Amino acid sequence: MEENIKHCPNCSQKVFSNSNFCSVCGFKFDDNKNNSKEDENSQGMVAAQAEDKSCGCTNNSNGENRSSDQLSLRLFDLVVNVFKKHTLEERENTFICGTVKTAPKEGEICSKWPKPWLYSRVFALFAMTFLGLVALLRIFENILAYPGIIFIGALTVPFSLLVFFWELNAPRNINIFDVIKIFFWGGVSSLLLTMIFSRIIFVGEVDYVGAIMIGVIEESAKFVVAAYFLRGSKRKYILNGLLLGAAVGAGFAVFETAGYEFAYGLQIPILMRIIYTRGALAFGGHIVWTAMSGAALAMVKEDDRLKINHFKDIKFLKYFILTIGLHAIWDMPISNSSELPFAQGILTIIAWIIILILISSGLKQISRIKTI
């Protein structure tokens, strides 16, 4: 079988020897050139290259130079791979990213506009699990499904979004275990800090002033935790800050939503309404707010260790104040004749415009570093 296999000189993946194009990266084979290249490289070298580049910038469809990467905003790229069929090997290569052996070197980091897809599979997995638990409760009236519905219902959208931000992390220098660790520890830690800050700062009723105070307290608590995980010099990329902030925000969102479900969802219709409403609103809430703060801190910190001066930088402050403002307006008792959350919808659009700008800035940062 190995006799019918050759290695792509562009991405080092195995393909059939009679193939004219690489099925992974689309590279067009020139048999004479490729055979000479394969003869020059031993099987061990090819395997090493494949391992090193499995998470790097190898998906170059035309084999062009990486310096020609396009950095303009292309929203379609964020969903285009969702509708394509992906192999088990692709999933495995994605999940091993961020380790010592798989993280690309600085000059090999891909600065193209990302094309994530794994987040959609994670969402589908959680959604099917949730529907199965709902069937247990509604059809078979099994009350033991209730805790599972609460947790999976709270987890589905935030964790799927977290995987989305993990896929956007082009440096591929943070592995999935660290992301999950920050998700849990960061979520709990930020909730604990929120409770501590709430004892110090009086909130009162959730009116306009109260909403501002809640925004200050919760965004500050989440940011402190995100800043802790960004404190070292290795987390120097804007996309690192975006990911770690999203991890803290996702953990906060999941535990908060699960708490609301437990406290107010004693009746099934109310529970389902909480799950669906907070799931839909999660796209514009804690996850993206903390992602913005984390990215802003990484933007000013770069490859330095975290210092007090970084918190005083105007570039950071404008994003951090913006997150507090978005959160405060989100919680304000703005009158609305419709039951639909129009204000939150507008705030979600604004937040994602900022996220897209930060993603673009992160890719441009990588492109600049590669040219140094």
Averaged over 268-285, what is the pLDDT?
Answer: 96
pLDDT for residue 206 is more than 60: yes
Averaged over 319-344, what is the pLDDT?
Answer: 91
Of 39, 45, 40, 50, the closest CA to residue 13 belongs to 50
Averaged over 6-28, what is the pLDDT?
Answer: 67
Residues 6+ apart with CB under 8 A from 262: 150
Per-residue pLDDT tens digits for 70-102 = 456 677 888 899 999 999 999 888 899 998 888
Per-residue pLDDT tens digits for 225-270 = 999 999 998 899 999 999 999 999 999 999 999 999 999 988 999 9
Please say whether the beta carbons of 281 and 344 come within 8 A. yes
Helix axes 314-331, 342-371, angle to 10 degrees: 160
pLDDT for residue 19 is more than 80: no
Q: Which residues of 157-194 are buried (b: 16+ CB within 10 A; e: fewer)?
A: bbbbbbbbbbbbbbbbbbbeebbeebbebbbebbbebb
pLDDT for residue 284 is more than 80: yes
SS3 341: coil
98 torsion bin: left (phi>0), alpha (psi -120 to 50), beta (else): left
pLDDT for residue 43 is more than 50: no
Helix axes 238-264, 208-229, angle to 10 degrees: 130
- Better-scored residue on pLDDT, 53 or 104: 104
Please say whether the beta carbons of 188 and 247 come within 8 A. no
pTM of the model: 0.82
pLDDT for residue 1 is more than 80: no
pLDDT for residue 292 is more than 70: yes
pLDDT for residue 63 is more than 60: no
pLDDT band at 10, cuts 50/70/90? low
Averaged over 111-118, what is the pLDDT?
Answer: 88
pLDDT for residue 366 is more than 70: yes
pLDDT for residue 59 is more than 60: no
Proportion of the chain above pLDDT 90, given as a percent: 65
pLDDT at 371: 80
Considering all CA atoms of the chain, what is the largest pairwise distance in Å, rounded to the nearest integer? 76
pLDDT at 272: 96
pLDDT at 216: 97
pLDDT for residue 21 is more than 60: yes
Neighbouring-strand partners of residue 6:
15
